[in-house]
C-alpha cells in the first residue's frame, strides 16, 4: 500500500501503522470475548479493537467489520491480514447492520462494538479535511461516495441555520458570532478550505476566550463533521438493532467521544434495562447495564494517546433466556 506523502511526518515507524484503539483493555473485558464466538465491529477503523477481539475468539471465532470509509477498510485489511480467513470486512453504514447480518446468514452474534466518532487516520490525513491543524479542502465526508461536504454547509446554510447547527452539534457558546462571521466572509469569496474557516473562527471568538481550553475551531469542526455524516440521526435505532442482534448473554460496548453521543447511548441502554411505568423492555431487547457510570481512560492512556481524553465507555449484557 502507498501511503499519502502528507502522512510521512506523522508516521515514523511501521509500528505506528497499527491503529491505537481507545480503551482496548476495558472494551475487551466488558465484551468478555469467548472462544469460537461471532463478533460485530460496527466501526472498524484501523482494526485495532477487531484484531484483539478475533485473537481472543481463537481459530473458531469470526468477526464482521463494518465501516463506511473505504480507506479505513483498506488499512484494516492490511492490519488484519493474518486473520483474513476469520474476517468479513464490508463497506457499509452501521445503520444497515441487520441487512448485512441477514445477507451473511447470521441470526445472532456474541458481541457488538461501537467506537464512535472520527478515526485517528481520518484526522491525520490532511486531504480529508477533518482537521483544523492542516489546510485542506473543506470536506469531512467519511464515505466519499456521498455528495454533501462541509463546504456545502458553510457556504449554503442561512446564518440562523448555521448558528443552530454549530450550537446544537458543537455545543459552542460563540455559535451565533461564528455564523455571523462566516456569512460575512463568504460574501467576499466562497470558503473552500479548512485554513480559511479556522481563521474566520479565530476572528469571531474574542481573544480572552481563545486563551484557555481547546483549539477555538474544535467545536465548530465537530459540529460540521456530525452534520455532514449524519452521525447522530439513527444512532438510537442502531443501538436497538445491535441489542436485537445479540444472542442471549451477548454483550454490547459503545465508546463515545462527546456528550451528545454518550447521552444517546446512556438513554438507549436505560430504556432497555429498566421498567418504565410498569412496562418491561420489548421482548428481545432487554439488557443488564454493566457500567453504572461511563468508564473513562486512565492517565497513562491519555498521555500515550491524547485522542482518548474525551472517551466514555458504556456496556450492557442481553438478558439470558428466561430472565426477561
- Decide: helix, strand or coil at residue 290: coil
Domain end marker among 197, 229, 261: 229
CB 69 within 8 A of CB 142: yes
Domain boundary among 200, 229, 258: 229
Report the candidate in 287, 274, 294 with the shortest Cα–Cα distance to residue 242.
287
Residues 161 and 250 in one domain: no
Let me know whether 238 and 111 are in one domain. Answer: yes
The domain of 151 spans: 126-229
Integer Rg of the chain from CA: 20
Contact indicator for 172, 166 with CB cutoff of 8 Å:
yes
User: Quick check: helix, strand or coil at residue 193?
Assistant: strand
Whether 108 and 250 share a structural domain: yes
Q: pLDDT tens, position by position, for the chain (324 residues)? A: 333 444 333 333 333 444 579 999 999 999 999 999 999 999 999 999 999 999 999 999 999 999 999 999 999 999 999 999 999 999 999 999 999 999 999 999 999 999 998 887 788 788 899 999 989 999 999 999 999 999 999 999 999 999 999 999 999 999 999 999 999 999 999 999 999 999 999 999 999 888 888 899 999 999 999 999 999 998 999 999 999 999 999 999 999 999 999 999 999 999 988 655 555 666 667 899 999 999 999 999 999 988 889 999 999 999 875 444
**Residue-level pLDDT at 109:** 98
| Residue 124: count of CB within 10 angstroms of its CB | 18
Residue 113 DSSP SS3: strand
Residue 122 confidence (pLDDT)? 83
Residue 292 in any domain: the answer is yes
Measure CA of the first residue to CA of the last residue in the chain; give whole Å: 49
Q: 298 and 197, same structural domain?
A: no
d(CA 267, CA 316): 12
Going by C-alpha positions, the residue among 204, 266, 252, 229 that lies closest to residue 31 is: 252
Q: Which backbone phi and psi does 72 adopt, to 5 degrees?
A: -65, -40
How far is Cα 116 from Cα 207, in angstroms, rounded to an integer? 32
Instruction: Answer with the one of 229, 258, 277 that is the final residue of a domain.
Output: 229
Query: Are 241 and 252 found together in one domain?
Result: yes
pTM, two decimal places: 0.87
What CATH number does residue 103 fall under? 3.40.50.150
Is residue 324 included in any domain, yes or no?
A: no
Instruction: Note whether 71 and 9 are same-domain residues.
Output: yes
The angle at the Cα of 65, spanning 261 to 28, to the nearest 5 degrees, equals: 65
243: its cell numbers: 441489542
Residues 12 and 102 in one domain: yes
* Residue 216 and residue 193 in one domain: yes
Per-residue confidence (pLDDT) for residue 126, from 0 to 100: 82
The alpha carbon of residue 250 and the mean position of all alpha carbons in its chain are separated, in whole angstroms, by: 22
Domain co-membership, 112 together with 239:
yes
Q: What is d(CA 51, CA 106) in angstroms, rounded to the nearest whole number?
A: 21
**For position 280, what pLDDT does the model report?**
61
- Per-residue pLDDT at 121: 78
What CATH number should be reported for the domain holding residue 181? Answer: 1.10.150.170
Looking at the 3D structure of the chain, how many domains does it have?
A: 2
Amino acid at each position: 500500500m502507498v501511503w499519502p506523502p502528507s502522512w510521512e511526518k506523522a508516521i515514523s515507524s511501521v509500528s505506528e501503522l497499527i491503529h491505537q484503539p481507545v480503551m482496548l483493555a476495558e472494551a475487551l473485558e466488558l465484551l468478555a470475548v469467548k472462544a469460537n464466538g461471532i463478533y460485530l465491529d460496527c466501526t472498524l477503523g484501523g482494526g485495532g479493537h477487531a484484531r484483539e477481539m478475533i485473537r481472543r475468539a481463537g481459530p473458531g471465532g469470526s468477526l464482521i467489520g463494518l465501516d463506511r470509509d473505504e480507506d479505513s477498510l483498506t488499512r484494516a485489511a492490511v492490519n488484519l491480514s493474518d486473520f483474513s480467513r476469520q474476517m468479513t470486512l464490508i463497506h457499509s453504514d452501521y445503520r444497515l447492520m441487520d441487512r448485512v447480518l441477514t445477507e451473511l446468514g447470521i441470526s445472532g452474534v456474541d458481541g457488538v462494538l461501537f467506537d464512535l466518532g472520527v478515526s485517528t487516520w481520518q484526522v491525520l490525513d490532511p486531504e480529508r479535511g477533518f482537521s483544523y491543524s492542516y489546510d485542506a479542502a473543506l470536506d469531512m465526508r467519511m464515505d466519499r461516495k456521498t455528495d454533501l461536504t462541509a463546504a456545502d454547509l458553510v457556504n449554503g446554510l442561512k446564518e440562523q441555520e448555521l448558528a443552530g447547527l454549530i450550537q446544537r452539534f458543537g455545543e459552542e457558546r460563540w455559535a451565533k458570532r461564528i455564523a455571523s462571521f462566516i456569512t460575512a466572509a463568504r460574501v467576499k469569496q466562497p470558503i473552500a478550505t479548512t485554513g480559511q474557516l479556522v481563521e474566520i473562527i479565530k476572528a469571531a471568538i474574542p481573544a480572552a476566550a481563545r486563551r484557555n481550553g481547546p483549539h477555538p475551531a474544535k467545536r465548530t469542526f465537530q459540529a460540521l463533521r456530525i452534520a455532514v455524516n449524519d452521525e447522530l440521526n439513527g444512532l438510537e435505532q442502531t443501538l436497538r438493532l445491535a441489542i436485537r442482534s445479540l444472542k442471549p448473554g451477548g454483550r454490547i460496548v459503545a465508546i463515545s467521544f462527546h456528550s451528545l453521543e454518550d447521552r444517546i447511548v446512556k438513554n438507549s441502554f436505560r430504556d432497555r434495562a429498566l421498567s418504565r411505568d410498569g412496562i418491561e423492555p420489548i421482548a428481545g431487547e432487554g439488557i443488564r447495564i454493566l457500567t453504572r457510570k461511563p468508564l473513562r481512560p486512565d492517565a497513562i492512556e491519555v498521555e500515550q494517546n491524547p485522542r482518548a481524553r474525551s472517551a466514555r465507555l458504556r456496556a450492557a449484557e442481553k438478558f439470558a433466556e428466561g430472565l426477561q
